[in-house]
Amino acid sequence: RTGWKQKYDKVLCDVPCSGDGTGRKKRSVVRTWDVRHGLGLHALQLAILNRGLELLGYGGRLVYSTCSLNPIECEAVVSAALARHAGLVRLVAAPAWARDLSTPGLASWSVPGAAYGATREVFARFEDVSNPKKARVAATMFPPADGAPLALARRFLPSEKCDSGGFFVAIFERSAERRPPAAPRAP
Binding residues for S-adenosyl-L-methionine: 14
CA gap 101, 129 in Å, rounded = 36
Catalytic annotation, pick one of 13, 17, 67, 74:
67
Q: What is the DSSP string of 28-90?
A: HHHHH--HHHHHHHHHHHHHHHHHHHHTEEEEEEEEEEES---TTTTHHHHHHHHHHTTTTEE
13 classed as catalytic: no
CA gap 151, 128 in Å, rounded = 26
Binding residues: 14
Residues with a known catalytic role: 67
